[in-house]
């Protein structure tokens, strides 16, 4: 079984690491010319951290990460605590491990160290994919090709591979997502605590947590489109735009923004669940399969789940049985991510129905949904579906 993965983000590299551990040859095609810069942080929750630890990545992740004690929701203007969710010992007792915050680049590095260096080919911009009865050919813009028994689209929210499987209707972006990084030595003291802090406002929020062993603070801020949209792509002007979008907010928020040494900005599109994940020898994973709204930090965690589940399906597959293996993967994973997507939709519907957009209302809606769905979100182990495929999937061969 030869696997070609399009995209070397968290999804693609998690799959490559899992396949390498299983002895399955894998080629990863990445359009970026080299390793990504440090970037912002990522929160790993138990549903992803457990399988990563089983893959042997635990020591590397522990060295680079921070174990947050809780997620604290604060009022936007005065840092008043609105609610707190345990992320430390209580989470570990219930789900086998607590949460972990770390730089996205540190997670990417740990995954890369678990994969043969020659498996990842940078500077390969994929333009087309050809499928035949005995394999797939992935074509790149420079004329080079990669051949395999199966191709996996792990190429993110703007996936080319998803477009080959689905007819999509463009939806204008509704939010801008800023991600930034600040030295802990310059950040407000509140932001450096081993906690995830979320400042909630009526139509925007900012979240932060320590990374790099506590030496840096990562933050994410979401604002509606049209609100201080960036006119420049330099960090200095992005900081100014972001500060303007959070004018009159808590000094802790503004102090963190002003301390930023790097800021990036992305458009957040409101995607419906992707209808088709699989066709023949081609399948989707990660953001290509399920663009995720930013609740419960599940975008990277669901990408890891996809990787573990997909590697399990491919482990015993042959060139003749791979279509069925991918179909079972797609059915199982689509069912799970659609359920998670429904939870986030319920939160938004609750907020709309209440007619209120106060920070207190937002915190209550999210906390209630998380408490009611904690086992669904954090208790899933994607490897269990593959350990007992007949029990998990009555249609399994």
Q: Give the mean model confidence (pLDDT) for residues 166-190.
A: 85
Which 8-state DSSP code applies to residue 158? Answer: T
Residue 105 has φ and ψ, to the nearest 5°, of: -65, -30
Question: How far apart (Å, rounded) are the C-alpha atoms in residues 67 and 55?
Answer: 19
pTM (2 d.p.): 0.92
Q: How many CB atoms lie under 10 A from the CB of residue 141?
A: 12
What is the average pLDDT score of the chain? 89
pLDDT of residue 35: 72
Residue range 39-103+172-268 in CATH 3.30.9.30: yes
Task: Say if residues 165 and 276 touch (Cβ distance below 8 Å).
Answer: yes
Q: Which residues of 363-396 are buried (b: 16+ CB within 10 A; e: fewer)?
A: bbbbbebbeebbeebbebbbbebbeebeeebeeb
Query: Exposure of 314 by Cβ count < 10 A (0-12 exposed, 13-18 middle, 19+ buried)?
Result: buried
pLDDT of residue 38: 63
pLDDT above 70 (res 99): yes
Q: Give the mean model confidence (pLDDT) for residues 285-310.
A: 90
Lowest mean pLDDT among 11-15, 278-282, 347-351: 347-351
Query: pLDDT tens-digit profile of 111-163?
Result: 999 999 899 999 999 999 999 988 999 999 999 999 999 999 999 988 999 99
Domains of the chain by residue range: 3-31+123-168+275-392, 39-103+172-268
* Tokens 């740990």 belong to residue: 110
pLDDT of residue 392: 37
Query: Exposure of 296 by Cβ count < 10 A (0-12 exposed, 13-18 middle, 19+ buried)?
Result: buried
Please provide the CATH number assigned to the domain covering 3-31+123-168+275-392.
3.50.50.60
pLDDT above 60 (res 51): yes
pLDDT of residue 167: 80
Task: Say if residues 268 and 177 touch (Cβ distance below 8 Å).
Answer: yes
pLDDT of residue 385: 63
Question: How far apart (Å, rounded) are the C-alpha atoms in residues 237 and 251?
Answer: 20
Residue 338 has φ and ψ, to the nearest 5°, of: -65, -40
* pLDDT over 70 percentage in the chain: 90
Q: Could you tell me which residue, 210 or 177, shows the higher pLDDT?
A: 210
Lowest mean pLDDT among 64-68, 69-73, 149-153, 344-348: 344-348
pLDDT of residue 139: 97
Half-sphere exposure of 133 (CA within 13 A, CB side): 0
pLDDT band at 391 (very low <50, low <70, confident <90, very high): very low
**Residue in 192, 207, 195, 186 with CA at minimum distance from that of residue 253:** 207
């Amino acid at each position: 079984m030869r696997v070609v993965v399009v995209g070397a983000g968290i999804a693609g590299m998690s799959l490559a690491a899992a396949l390498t551990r299983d002895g399955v040859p894998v080629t990863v095609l990445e359009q970026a010319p080299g390793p990504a810069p440090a970037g912002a942080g990522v929160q790993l929750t138990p549903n992803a951290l457990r399988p990563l630890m089983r893959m042997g990545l635990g020591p590397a992740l522990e060295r680079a990460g921070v174990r947050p004690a809780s997620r604290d929701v604060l009022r936007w203007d005065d840092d008043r605590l609105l609610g707190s969710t345990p992320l430390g010992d209580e989470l570990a007792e219930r789900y086998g491990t607590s949460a972990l915050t770390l730089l996205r680049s540190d997670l990417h590095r740990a995954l890369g160290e678990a994969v043969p260096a020659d498996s990842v080919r940078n500077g390969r911009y994929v333009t087309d994919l050809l499928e035949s009865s005995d394999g797939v050919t992935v074509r790149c813009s420079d004329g080079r090709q990669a051949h395999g028994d199966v191709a996996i689209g792990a190429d993110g929210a703007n996936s080319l591979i998803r477009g080959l499987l689905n007819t999509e209707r463009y939806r204008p972006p509704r939010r801008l997502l800023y991600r930034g990084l600040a030295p802990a030595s310059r950040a407000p003291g509140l932001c450096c605590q081993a906690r995830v802090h979320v400042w909630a406002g009526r139509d925007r929020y900012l979240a932060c947590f320590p990374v790099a062993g506590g030496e840096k603070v990562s933050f994410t801020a979401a604002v509606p489109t049209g609100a201080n949209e960036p006119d420049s792509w330099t960090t200095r002007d992005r900081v100014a735009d972001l500060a303007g979008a959070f004018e009159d907010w808590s000094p802790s928020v503004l102090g963190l923004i002003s301390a930023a040494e790097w800021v990036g900005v992305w458009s957040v599109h409101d995607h419906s669940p992707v209808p088709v994940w699989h066709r023949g020898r081609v399948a989707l994973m990660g953001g290509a399969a399920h663009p995720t709204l930013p609740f419960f930090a599940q975008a990277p965690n669901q990408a890891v789940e996809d990787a573990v589940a997909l590697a399990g399906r491919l482990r015993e597959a042959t060139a003749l049985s791979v279509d069925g293996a991918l179909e079972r993967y797609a059915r199982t994973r689509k069912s799970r991510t659609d359920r998670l997507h429904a939870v986030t939709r319920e939160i938004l519907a609750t907020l709309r129905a209440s007619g209120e957009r106060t920070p207190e209302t937002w915190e209550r809606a999210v906390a209630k949904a998380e408490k009611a769905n904690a086992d669904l979100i954090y208790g899933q182990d994607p490897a269990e579906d593959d350990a007992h495929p007949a029990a998990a999937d009555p249609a399994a061969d």
